[in-house]
C-alpha cells in the first residue's frame, strides 16, 4: 500500500506536480476564503476566464504568458470598477458582460491560429505534471506574497467581509481593501493557470474554502482546513491520474468538488441524527 502511494513520486514530473499543486492550494485557499465569505464567487469565475485574451495574445506573439495574463486581469478589474461606477446596473451584470466578452475575445484570438484545440486545452485546463523549476519559483513567490498580505490586511478584509459601512467608519478604506482583494484573486489566477488552467483554477478558489466553511467558523481555522482539503485533493488527484491515465488538473479539481459534497452529506446526516435524538429525548421525558 505504501509503495502505491510513494512509487509515482520517484518521477520528477510527479514531484513537480505535487509541489505546484500544494503551492497553488496555499495561495488559493487563503484568497478563496475571503471570496467565499464575501460572496465573490462570480467575480472569481469571471476573472479566471478574463485572463484568457492576455494569455492568447502573449502566446501568439511569443511573449511572457504571465505578463499577458496580468495585463488582462488588470483590464478586467478596471472594466468591472468602471462599469459598476458608471452604470445603474448591478456589479453582477457588469461582471457577467465582461466575463462573456473577455472569454469570447480570448477564444477568437486563439482560433485565428492553426493549432486551436491543443493550445486552448493547455491554457484552459493547464498541465500540472509539465511545470518546470521556473514555474515553481513563481508559485512560491505568489504563495509567499499571499501569506504576507493576508496577515497584513487581515483586519480590513475581515471587517469588509461583514460590513462595508463598518469598515468605512473604522477608517479601513474599504474601497482600497476591495481592490487589494481583487488584486490577490488576480495574482492567484495569473500565477496558477499553468498548473490547473484558467478554467479549473476556479475550483481551487471556491471548493476547498466552501468545504472548510461547513466545518469551521473562525476565519484562520477555515483557511487551514481549506489548505488541508486542497492538499488531499492534489495528492489523491495525482495518484488517480498516474494510475488511471485521467487528466491531472481535471481530476484534482473534480476531487475538490466531490469532497465538498461528501462533507456536506456527512454534516447533514449528523445534524439529522442530532435532531432525531433531541426529539426522542423530549418524547421520553414528556409527561404521559
Dist. CA 10–CA 8, nearest whole Å: 5
Mean per-residue pLDDT for 273-283? 81
Q: Residues 119, 113: contact at Cβ < 8 Å?
A: yes
The answer on pLDDT for 250 being more than 80 is yes
Residue 114: pLDDT over 60: no
User: In sequence order, what E strands does the chain have?
Assistant: none
Q: Which residue has the cell 484534482?
A: 252
DSSP secondary structure code for residue 11 in this structure:
S
CA triple 186-209-268, angle to 5 deg: 150
- The answer, yes or no, to whether residue 274 has pLDDT greater than 90, is no
Residue 92 has pLDDT above 80, yes or no: no
pLDDT higher than 60, residue 103: yes
Judged against a pLDDT cut of 80, whether residue 238 lies above it is answered with: yes
In angstroms, rounded to a whole number, what is the distance separating the alpha carbons of residues 192 and 65? Answer: 11
Q: How confident is the model at residue 90 (pLDDT cuts 50, 70, 90)?
A: low
C-alpha cell at 78: 478596471
Q: Is the pLDDT of residue 182 over 90?
A: no
Phi, psi of 145 (to 5 degrees): -60, -40
Cα separation, 130 vs 162, whole angstroms: 40
Asked if 214 and 267 count as a contact pair (C-beta separation under 8 A), the reply is yes
Residue 89, pLDDT score: 58
Does 211 score more than 90 pLDDT? yes
In tens, the pLDDT along 128-171 reads: 878 888 889 999 999 999 999 999 999 999 988 887 777 787 77
Pairwise pLDDT comparison (184 vs 282), residue with the higher score: 184
Nearest 5°: the CA angle 152, 199, 258 is 85
Distance spanning both ends of the chain, measured CA to CA? 57
pTM for the model stands at 0.85
- Given a contact cutoff of 8 angstroms between Cβ atoms, the answer to whether 198 and 123 are in contact is yes
User: For residues 170 and 65, what is the distance between their CA atoms, to the nearest angstrom?
Assistant: 40
Q: Check residue 65 and report its DSSP letter.
A: H
pLDDT 10s digits, 144-155: 999 999 999 999
Q: Compute the half-sphere exposure of residue 99: CA atoms within 13 Å on the CB side of its CA.
A: 15
Residue 176 burial by Cβ neighbours in a 10 Å radius (0-12, 13-18, 19+) = exposed
- Residue 7 has what pLDDT? 85
Class of domain 2-285: mainly alpha
φ, ψ at 60 (rounded to 5°): -70, -35
The per-residue pLDDT for 171 is 78
Amino acid at each position: 500500500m505504501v509503495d502505491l502511494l510513494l512509487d509515482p513520486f520517484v518521477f520528477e514530473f510527479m514531484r513537480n506536480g505535487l509541489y505546484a499543486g500544494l503551492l497553488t492550494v496555499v495561495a488559493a485557499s487563503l484568497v478563496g476564503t475571503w471570496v467565499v465569505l464575501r460572496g465573490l464567487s462570480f467575480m472569481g469565475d469571471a476573472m479566471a476566464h478574463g485572463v484568457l485574451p492576455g494569455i492568447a495574445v502573449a502566446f501568439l506573439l511569443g511573449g511572457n504568458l504571465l505578463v499577458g495574463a496580468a495585463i488582462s486581469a488588470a483590464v478586467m478589474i478596471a472594466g468591472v470598477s468602471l462599469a459598476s461606477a458608471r452604470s445603474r446596473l448591478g456589479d453582477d451584470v457588469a461582471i457577467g458582460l465582461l466575463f462573456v466578452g473577455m472569454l469570447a475575445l480570448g477564444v477568437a484570438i486563439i482560433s485565428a491560429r492553426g493549432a486551436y484545440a491543443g493550445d486552448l486545452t493547455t491554457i484552459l485546463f493547464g498541465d500540472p505534471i509539465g511545470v518546470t523549476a521556473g514555474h515553481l519559483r513563481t508559485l512560491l513567490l505568489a504563495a509567499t506574497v499571499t501569506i504576507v498580505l493576508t496577515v497584513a490586511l487581515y483586519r480590513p478584509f475581515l471587517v469588509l467581509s461583514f460590513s462595508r459601512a463598518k469598515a468605512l467608519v473604522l477608517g479601513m478604506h474599504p474601497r482600497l481593501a476591495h481592490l487589494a482583494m481583487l488584486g490577490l484573486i488576480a495574482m492567484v489566477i495569473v500565477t496558477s493557470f499553468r498548473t490547473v488552467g484558467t478554467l479549473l483554477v476556479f475550483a481551487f478558489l471556491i471548493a476547498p474554502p466552501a468545504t472548510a466553511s461547513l466545518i469551521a467558523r473562525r476565519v484562520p481555522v477555515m483557511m487551514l482546513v481549506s489548505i488541508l482539503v486542497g492538499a488531499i485533493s492534489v495528492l489523491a488527484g495525482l495518484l488517480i491520474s498516474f494510475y488511471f491515465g485521467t487528466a491531472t488538473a481535471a481530476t484534482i479539481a473534480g476531487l475538490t468538488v466531490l469532497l465538498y459534497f461528501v462533507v456536506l452529506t456527512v454534516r447533514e446526516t449528523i445534524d439529522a441524527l442530532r435532531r432525531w435524538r433531541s426529539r426522542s429525548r423530549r418524547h421520553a421525558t414528556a409527561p404521559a
